[in-house]
Amino acid sequence: MKILYIFILSLIASVSSAQVIDTSDPQLMDNWINELNNTRPDTPMETVIGSPFLNDKFEKATIKTRTQGEFQGIPIRYNLHQDHIEYINNGEVMVLFFGAQVMEAHLNGVIYKYLEASGQKGGYQVIYEGEQVSVYKKQAIMLLPEKTGYGTVRTIEARYKKAPDSYLIIDASGKVTSIKNKKELNSFTKPYRKDGSVPKSLDDSSMLAFAQRLDQND
């Protein structure tokens, strides 16, 4: 686990020291895109109900890449179903993958960071990062397949559905705990119940308050 923690810290350090690229310079942008990625998103299925995106609209964000520095003011949207970033270049939608290209995305005051932990890897929302404990949230959208009807039973169209959020807690020793439901939350927080500092529900505000108290107590 300690190796994992050191690995995460090294990713953060490499990102924080990256240069900031002027995105208003077309030549720099073209060089970056050619170097980084030329992948286009899959053609969306028109018959699917709902959306795979955190927000359908493209919004300006700051992107910190693995090798090409930091880019500010990039119009992006986050595909939670496929866990990748989509951006616009010369009117065309392109894709950036967490880990391979993107290490951090700052969007609307929220930080999404690439992590590898608990057998999973991808983009995680930063809930709290402290000296003793850090908390990250994993969001996802599932694609439910079409259910073909028969007789008087109607066909149920394919649809996107928000999956329950899960959380990662990483302590100073590098120990990683994945919490996917209230039962796992109760099990993890059992040692802390004496001081009444345990979260009563699995949500951002409760997990944030809990992490802050752990940092203060330690």
Provide the 10 A C-beta neighbour count for residue 45.
11
In the numeric block, which tokens belong to residue 140?
């996802």
pLDDT in tens, 38-68: 566 765 556 789 999 999 999 999 999 888 8
Q: 87-91, 201-205, 212-216: which has the minimum mean pLDDT?
A: 87-91
pTM of the model: 0.80
Q: Is the dihedral of CA 29, 31, 36, 38 positive or negative?
A: positive
Residue 108 CA to residue 78 CA, distance in Å, equals: 12
Helices (H) and strands (E) in the chain, counts: 4, 13
Q: Max alpha carbon distance in the chain (Å)?
A: 64
Provide the 10 A C-beta neighbour count for residue 108.
9
Residue 77's closest CA among 64, 61, 90?
61
pLDDT the model gives residue 44: 58
Number of domains in the chain: 1
Residue 68 CA to residue 216 CA, distance in Å, equals: 37
pLDDT in tens, 159-172: 999 999 999 999 99
List the domain range (segments joined by +) for residue 67.
2-217
| Residue 30 banded pLDDT, cuts 50, 70, 90 | low
Distance of alpha carbon 199 from its chain centroid, rounded? 22
pLDDT mean across residues, the chain = 82
Residue 56's closest CA among 93, 91, 99, 106?
93
